[in-house]
Amino acid sequence: MARPFASSADLGEKQQSLEVLAEGVYALTAEGDPNVGAIEGEDFLVCFEALATPVAAREWLARLREHTDKPIRYLVLSHYHAVRVLGASAFGAEVIVTHEKTRELIAERGEQDWASEYARMPRLFKEPASIPGLTWPTATFSDRFTIDLGGGRGDLVLRYCGRGHTEGDLVAWLPRQRIMFAGDLVESQAALYTGDAFHRDWSSATLDRVAAFGARTLVGGRGVVARGERGVAAAIAQTRDFLAVMLREVGAAGTLEEAFRRTHGALAPQYGSWPIFEHCLPFNVSRLWDELHGVERPRIWTAERDREVWDRLQR
Ligand SMILES: [Zn+2]
């Protein structure tokens, strides 16, 4: 029997865990579903990531409101993917911040990405009719954006580390607490999605820059919170290894089908049981095949192209 498309047959609710990482610093993880976070300023909140729909976001905000009733001034979005941004309207944030490339990507491919991700992962789109439209940032930056948290709480620093999971990923860094929200640039015991990635940059200079912060706590895009110097190093190493294996196997293959078989065979023993591994791999291999054959920027995924690649590879 054919394997069900992407995560279309994954309908089981995941257990969400709200963790207080330091005073006023929150992470919500969900067994491999997209993670979100929040940071308290003196008299305002910064929220990190918006989930796939306003209804899904409101459930997260209801949990956050058990800890703080401060108004949301900033909503920070790590990159343009639909499951991270389309819930933004629920936050009522004064300012929505992304990297400048993320704004360009939303303009260029936001509509197609929405349709693609909805078909791939329908469970994440709780009440999809609640989405009012694409999410547009109201503030962007190229290298660094600093938010003074006030009241002697220090800064929250948003940084661009180079091309990686997408062309415009940012990380959010709390220097005082040495806590990082890394978006999908780092996964911790969850498979990587690399369908819009720049594998060579990501696996080298970009992850070097992420590692150089010296985080002691790291919230990746999916999976558990990485804790302690060793835990953070392990999450970054896992991300780098996944990419290195892909680069090695796809680089050694003569056809796209062979690239998929080789990559699957090499990654599955270690990563095959992790969330969204089977879902992501055809899209990942397709993009890396392009990258290694001179296609500089990722081709736009549409619902139709998703099916074509899936039917060709994931049988
Ligand atoms: Zn993503």
Å from CA of 48 to ligand 1 middle: 14
Residue 2's pLDDT is what? 67
Å from CA of 168 to ligand 1 middle: 11
Residue 45 C-alpha from the chain's centroid:
21
Å from CA of 184 to ligand 1 middle: 5
Tell me the whole-structure pTM to 2 decimals: 0.97
Structure tokens at 209: 């820059």
Structure tokens at 230: 């060793």
* 238-286 confidence digits (pLDDT tens): 999 999 999 999 999 999 999 999 999 999 999 999 988 999 999 999 9
Question: Where do the H-state alpha helices sit in 138-276?
Answer: 199-201, 207-212, 228-251, 256-271
Let me know if 160 is exposed, middle or buried by CB neighbors in 10 A (0-12, 13-18, 19+). Answer: buried
145 phi, psi to nearest 5 deg: -140, 120
Mean pLDDT, 10 residues at a time, over the chain (315 residues)?
A: 75 88 96 95 98 98 98 98 98 98 98 96 95 98 98 96 98 98 96 97 98 98 97 98 98 98 97 92 98 98 95 87
CA–CA separation, 74 and 145 (whole Å): 12
Given a contact cutoff of 8 angstroms between Cβ atoms, the answer to whether 278 and 190 are in contact is: no
Positive/negative CA dihedral, 248, 254, 260, 261: negative
Å from CA of 80 to ligand 1 middle: 7
Å from CA of 255 to ligand 1 middle: 26
Residue 291's pLDDT is what? 98
Å from CA of 165 to ligand 1 middle: 7
Edge-to-edge strands of the sheet including 17-22? 17-22, 25-30, 33-40, 45-48, 72-76, 95-99, 139-141
Neighbours of 252 (CB within 10 A): 12
Å from CA of 79 to ligand 1 middle: 7
Residue 173: name the closest of 189, 186, 192, 190 by CA.
186
CA atoms within 13 A on the CB side of 143: 0
Å from CA of 222 to ligand 1 middle: 9
Given a contact cutoff of 8 angstroms between Cβ atoms, the answer to whether 37 and 219 are in contact is: yes
Residue 314's pLDDT is what? 84
Can you count the helices (H) and strands (E) in the chain? 9, 13
Residue 4's pLDDT is what? 80
Å from CA of 21 to ligand 1 middle: 23
Given a contact cutoff of 8 angstroms between Cβ atoms, the answer to whether 258 and 272 are in contact is: no
Å from CA of 49 to ligand 1 middle: 11
Residue 258's pLDDT is what? 98
Distances (CA, A) of 198 to 100, 172, 188, 289: 17, 20, 19, 11
Structure tokens at 285: 């291999």
Å from CA of 254 to ligand 1 middle: 28
Å from CA of 146 to ligand 1 middle: 23
Distances (CA, A) of 255 to 198, 199, 252, 283: 20, 18, 9, 15
* 98-119 confidence digits (pLDDT tens): 999 999 999 999 999 999 999 9
